[in-house]
Amino acid sequence: MLIKTLPVGYLETNCYIVTDETTQACVIIDPGADSNTILDYVEANGLKPEAIFLTHGHFDHCLALGAVIEETNAPAYVNILDTHTEERRTQLKLKDFDGLRKYSEDDLIKIGNLEFTVLETPGHSPGSVTLMCESVLFTGDTLFRGSCGRTDFDGGDTIVLLASLKRLASLGGDFEVYPGHAESTTLQRERSFNSYIKHAVGG
């Protein structure tokens, strides 16, 4: 598994391109902006995008979604709780349009020889998910190095987020953690030093 991190947009959202090096099949996680940067990397490396995963529906994680879908024809996945209709508008940028696939707890999606399992980890947003592949977690804005996602947006909930952090902390073994912003970390490091996780587990 090869993981390429592309910080995109003015909020430097981490877009991840995860490739099965045997087949060159890849998944694009959180195409938040700068579609040309994302697509140029895919083309330059001869990759075959088979899916687009959204960890949640906030604008800085999906602004380039339309352009990436148009160029790759890859199906895009999001948890339905982070979409909206004309009647149910929220801070979420993502409209529930035809062709947008929904994933939820325990769904397993295969990309080449890689298998991604969906863990629902709400709190930062109602439909936030963590994507698990082998010993790697893509946590979106649920868990950061030394911190966690904010909950003061519409739909955020601190109590729910703490439960999600506790759930992640309880996973067996160690994992590499690739968050939605800033640098990567490990789950063991966050268990040891992240005050939010300590509070979640202690609570």
CATH number at residue 47: 3.60.15.10
Phi, psi angles (nearest 5°) of residue 109? -125, 130
Q: What is the pLDDT along the chain (203 residues), one digit of tens a residue?
A: 999 999 999 999 999 999 999 999 999 999 999 999 999 999 999 999 999 999 999 989 999 999 999 999 999 999 988 886 544 445 555 655 546 899 999 999 999 999 999 999 999 999 999 999 999 999 999 999 999 999 998 889 999 999 999 999 999 999 999 999 999 999 999 999 999 999 999 86
Structural domain including 160 reads 2-202
Q: What is the pTM of this model?
A: 0.94
Q: Residue 169 is inside which H or E element, if any?
A: helix 158-169
By the 8 A CB rule, do 153 and 161 touch? no
pLDDT at 99: 63
For the chain, the domain total comes to 1
By the 8 A CB rule, do 52 and 68 touch? yes
Distance CA 133, CA 48 (A): 18
Task: Please give, one letter per residue, the 3-state secondary structure of 17-33.
Answer: EEEECCCCEEEEECCCC
Radius of gyration of the chain from its Cα atoms, rounded to whole angstroms: 16
pLDDT at 100: 84
